[in-house]
Structure 1
Amino acid sequence: MVSKWSKDDALIWLSGGALVLGFLMVAGLILVIVVHGLGRFWPQELTLYELRDGRIVLGHETSRVSVRTAGLSGERSVAYRLRVRTGDRERFPAEYVWLEEGRVAWRDAPREAVVVEQVRGGDVFGFLESFVDDGTVVARGYEAVRAHYREQSPELERLRRQRALSIVLSFADGRQHTVSLANVHRIYAPNAMTTWTRIRHYMGGAWSYLWSPPRDQNRLGGVYPAIFGTAAMVILMSVVVMPFGALAAFYLREYGNPGPFLNVVRIAVNSLAGVPSIVFGVFGLGFFVYYLGGTLDRLFFPAELPEPTFGRGGILWCALTLVLLTLPVVIVAVEEGLAGVPPGLREASHALGATRFETLWRVVVPVVLPSILTGLILSVARAAGTVAPLMITGVVAFSAELPVDGTWPFVHLEREFMHLGFHIFDTGFRPDGGEASLPMAYTSTLLLLAIVVALNAAAIGLRSRLRRRYSLAAAGA
């Protein structure tokens, strides 16, 4: 008996340790995403470094690492290296530079240092020299240029169309750089900001991120088209998967005769839940895009051929592909709800003279409604985070058009669209983006994670609330 309890205790401790380890791993992953994602909009202080060899670098420090070195006598020492983002792609194409901290003669945080956020080309760090209007200098110096820029801000959208307006910056080493006003998104001086100004800047950056389109090849700007495209695809998928999944579950549980056929169908449904998502994408490409889309083009759009209309990737085919992917989730959730309906409810309904359909519609469906909504929300959560099948059925890195706009017929099911999950992949793993696009990838990951967690939390809360309501009603009956 002692030996048996020892083994049981060991198993309990092993299970508990595995649970704690898994929780810590998930918490660490979320912490990394939150720290890197939320810090993207906070204005970073610019530091001016002068090295002992005479070089001058302006930028903000992103990390400080220790490096062990060995001298001629064999003694080991620790040196530190600073990783600085320079905002000077002409001088540092990689945008980041490593500085030996021991070779820094002095450093300063000049209040006049500014960040110019460009529409294309990334951020530029420097000092405001002059404001130029059609070749004529109309303002010189930091204060004068900033004041003139603020005066033009109310008419900035109109003035941006005039390529003659520009701002002249000077880099840390004295070189001058001209930025066209048409390419200026925002100018701010982080070292001169107060705490309240930084908070306002942070909130404005977060708002712009959610409601503005991307710029500079998705490295900067917002993700509004990706959010809109993700929402439109999920809504379209839900409209299709919900009735099909619920009807299939009702047939399997209420109308189908138990036997080999139903067993095979249930095995197939459970097997679909374990199929890799890319397999659904290949099927969607071959069947939906090439076969159905090509057939629709030949029947309804012959004048547009050989240019395809529906015979290429689009939001409709992505939604139908995800219908196949999430259908098992809905069927299983609804079937579990049907299995939990007390048999006494059906028997009481039949005893009162209700038909089978009336019993199903008026008695069973209200009780199963929590499971139906749970299946819907879980399918939406899975669809929002799935990327692989969409990459080959209609998602693109950038699209200037939305699936829904003011052009007739207003809803364009044949259009390609942006998706938040693919946006993360594009910004985080593009070969030409470098490390400058990683903050955007972290922020988009945090946004997608928040959406998925919110949907799952809503599913759990809604299911518990409705089950409690109907269980109390059944107990009272």
Structure 2
Amino acid sequence: MNTWFKSGLPWVWLNAGAVAISLILVVGLLALIASRGLGYFWPDPVMVADYKAPEQQALKVAGAIIRSEVVPIKYLRAADINTENLPETVNRSLLQTGTGGLTDINYVWLIKPWLHKIRYPTDILTIERQENSNFHGYLKSVKENGATVANGKQAFPELVNRIERTKNIYKAIEDIQRHHIVEINEKLEQLRLKKRRQELNNTFSHTQEQTTDTQQAQFKHQYQQYTYKLNQLYKALSRDSYTILTADGTLIEQPVSNIVRAYHPNNLSITEKIALYFNKLGEFLLESPREANSKGGIFPAIFGTIMMVILMSIFVTPFGVITAVYLHEYAQQGTITRIVRIAVNNLAGVPSIVYGIFGLGFLVYFVGGNIDKLFFPEALPAPTFGTPGLLWASITLSILTLPVVIVATEEGLSQIPTSIREGSLSLGATRAETLWHVVLPMASPAMITGLILAIARAAGEVAPLMLVGVAKLVPNLPVDSSYPFIHLDQKFMHLAYHIYDFGFQSPDVETSRSLVYATALLLILIIVTLNFSAVVLRNHLREKYKRLES
């Protein structure tokens, strides 16, 4: 036994076991996140049943079962529920009622022994709405301006056609609002700022005033034309409606303009379910959020996260490499250099919220405020760069991750043999040429390693971003067709903050729980993709300069 311990084999097996357990935990966590998140988009069957609790009137309920659980009867007694004739443990299910907007109750717990006549009718309709939760009922008719145009079996195909019509109208409205009206507002703002700039410089003449007034009048006329078109489109949205019968026999009429999609959940084939699943998944990935971020897509958050990481990488890489090169290649190795290295290592342990406060105080208010005074005085007191935005968020995170890049790059530089430097110098190369053509290429894998670590940390940060640029809802992307095309002063959405918003700010807890899992899985996939791309580049560079190292 002593020989076995002295051989070191127990520690080998211990390390192997720890690695195996870690891998199992990671894979299990990812599987949990994937199952909970991706399962949200699968269409659930809709149950219709009679529900009769002791000493209460019988009710007809309809909805999708979100989840089920087994609970001890004492929990029900604690909630003042009559538990007469119930076993010691009962099965209860959470039902999404499908009456959101009509009642204050979107979800209700049902005790399984009190459910009777459970059925899954094929003609029941699920309606996903722009606002409120899904609605379930029996479609009776479709109306146009109050007059019935289809009922019975013809009602559903007609409803589908009307839904497509409203989607086209929404696209036209979005095109006018996000392109034409935004463009006109930007041109009007540019004219105002130009006039203000000339007034500050005392160069604004009467002729220029007339020209400016003429251009403003033209833009305002165009604005009125687009406003009229918008009013006509909104009137067209209110044209169609439908009547639907709820499970309890109530006939209600609702506008078609509030529908995202409608389908018969209990009458879908497996092919139709798969098609609907990918349709919902595509909406989640490519659309903008709606209804306080609790529905719709998260594309602005995906775009904002990727763009912030790219900008952060552009900022942190050159500064980190230059600092590491100076400390290792040029700085005199003494007390001051050792203190600087200690300070760099300590910066890696500073809480991220401290960097956020620094970014808000120094970058936003001081640097951004002075940029506004120097280059945008005509816009004051409205800030241009003196407010949180994409630029300051990227720079703040680059400062946060700078120690990681410095340490990794310096480690790579220290692994390059001195003989290679001396050989280059002996062949007549200068020190700068040796650094640029020999040392830095050989150290590039270490630089990429530092960048990988920086991306992994920065992509998941939330605390500093809440202070220097991230916002709850910014449907407009920071990149568009308007000059200067990349709007670094604009606030943006971020996946990590979106997860926080889903988890703690959403009014629909049950829906947001699944979306938290889906968004977390997407954030992990984005980080893994960025890191994998950097690893591939690092391995390519490592193989490229392997011969030089040997």
Q: TM-score range by the shorter chain?
A: over 0.9
Q: Deviation per CA, 1:380-439, whole angstroms, max 9, x where unpaired?
A: 232211111001111111013221112222221111111111111111111523222222
Q: Tell whether the 8 Å contact from 1:86 to 1:92 is kept in structure 2 after alignment.
A: no
Partner of 2:123: 112
Q: Which runs of 5+ in 1 are unaligned?
A: none
Deviates more, 1:152-161 or 1:103-112: 152-161
Partner of 2:265: 190
Amino-acid identity (%): 41
Task: Select the residue among 152, 155, 161 that pairs with 1:151.
Answer: 161
Q: Deviation per CA, 1:369-389, whole angstroms, max 9, x where unpaired?
A: 222223223322322111110
Task: Select the residue among 109, 131, 138 that pairs with 1:127.
Answer: 138
Partner of 2:45: 45
**Does residue 1:86 correspond to 2:97, yes or no?**
yes
Partner of 1:179: 254
Offset of 1:2 from its aligned partner? 3.0
CA distance in 2, matches of 1:82, 1:91: 22
SS at match of 2:142: strand
CA distance in 1, matches of 2:506, 2:278: 31
CA distance in 1, matches of 2:58, 2:83: 26
Deviates more, 1:174-183 or 1:306-315: 174-183
Task: Select the residue among 257, 260, 281 that pairs with 2:356.
Answer: 281
Offset of 1:74 from its aligned partner? 12
AA of the residue aligned to 2:38: L
Offset of 1:54 from its aligned partner? 2.3
Give the 3 Å change call, closer, same or farther, for CA 286–433 of structure 1 in structure 2.
Answer: farther
SS at match of 1:137: strand
Deviates more, 1:261-270 or 1:157-166: 157-166
Partner of 1:216: 291
Partner of 1:238: 313
SS at match of 1:412: coil
Q: Tell whether the 8 Å contact from 1:229 to 1:418 is kept in structure 2 after alignment.
A: yes
CA distance in 1, matches of 2:36, 2:363: 39
CA distance in 2, matches of 1:403, 1:455: 20
CA distance in 2, matches of 1:218, 1:380: 26
Partner of 2:62: 58
Give the 3 Å change call, closer, same or farther, for CA 90–122 of structure 1 in structure 2.
Answer: closer
Give the 3 Å change call, closer, same or farther, for CA 369–14 of structure 1 in structure 2.
Answer: closer
Task: Select the residue among 232, 239, 257 that pairs with 2:332.
Answer: 257
Q: Tell whether the 8 Å contact from 2:97 to 2:106 is kept in structure 1 after alignment.
A: yes
CA distance in 2, matches of 1:362, 1:202: 53
Offset of 1:304 from its aligned partner? 2.7
CA distance in 1, matches of 2:435, 2:245: 76
CA distance in 2, matches of 1:94, 1:270: 54
CA distance in 1, matches of 2:360, 2:84: 66
Offset of 1:255 from its aligned partner? 1.1
Give the 3 Å change call, closer, same or farther, for CA 122–64 of structure 1 in structure 2.
Answer: closer
- Compute the TM-score of the two structures, normalised by the length of structure 2: 0.80
Partner of 2:499: 424
- Between Structure 1 and Structure 2, how many residues are aligned? 474
Q: Which runs of 5+ in 2 are unaligned?
A: 75-81, 171-233
- Compute the TM-score of the two structures, normalised by the length of structure 1: 0.92
CA distance in 2, matches of 1:303, 1:296: 12
Deviates more, 1:244-253 or 1:407-416: 407-416
Partner of 1:296: 371
Offset of 1:316 from its aligned partner? 0.9
CA distance in 2, matches of 1:222, 1:74: 46
Q: Tell whether the 8 Å contact from 2:4 to 2:10 is kept in structure 1 after alignment.
A: no
Offset of 1:239 from its aligned partner? 1.8
SS at match of 1:385: coil
Partner of 1:25: 25
AA of the residue aligned to 2:92: R
CA distance in 1, matches of 2:522, 2:450: 22
Q: Tell whether the 8 Å contact from 1:122 to 1:220 is kept in structure 2 after alignment.
A: no
**Does residue 1:396 correspond to 2:471, yes or no?**
yes
Partner of 2:186: none
CA distance in 2, matches of 1:83, 1:73: 21
Q: Tell whether the 8 Å contact from 1:159 to 1:182 is kept in structure 2 after alignment.
A: no
SS at match of 2:88: strand
Offset of 1:120 from its aligned partner? 2.1
CA distance in 1, matches of 2:391, 2:21: 42
Give the 3 Å change call, closer, same or farther, for CA 72–57 of structure 1 in structure 2.
Answer: closer
Deviates more, 1:8-17 or 1:379-388: 8-17
Give the 3 Å change call, closer, same or farther, for CA 157–31 of structure 1 in structure 2.
Answer: closer
Q: Tell whether the 8 Å contact from 1:403 to 1:411 is kept in structure 2 after alignment.
A: yes
**Does residue 1:348 correspond to 2:413, yes or no?**
no
Q: Deviation per CA, 1:99-133, whole angstroms, max 9, x where unpaired?
A: 11001111111112222121222322222122111
Partner of 1:204: 279
SS at match of 1:185: strand
CA distance in 2, matches of 1:12, 1:356: 45
Offset of 1:13 from its aligned partner? 6.3
AA of the residue aligned to 1:145: A
AA of the residue aligned to 1:214: P
CA distance in 1, matches of 2:482, 2:257: 28
CA distance in 2, matches of 1:329, 1:40: 37
AA of the residue aligned to 1:109: Y
Offset of 1:280 from its aligned partner? 0.5
Partner of 1:375: 450
SS at match of 1:285: helix
Partner of 1:139: 150
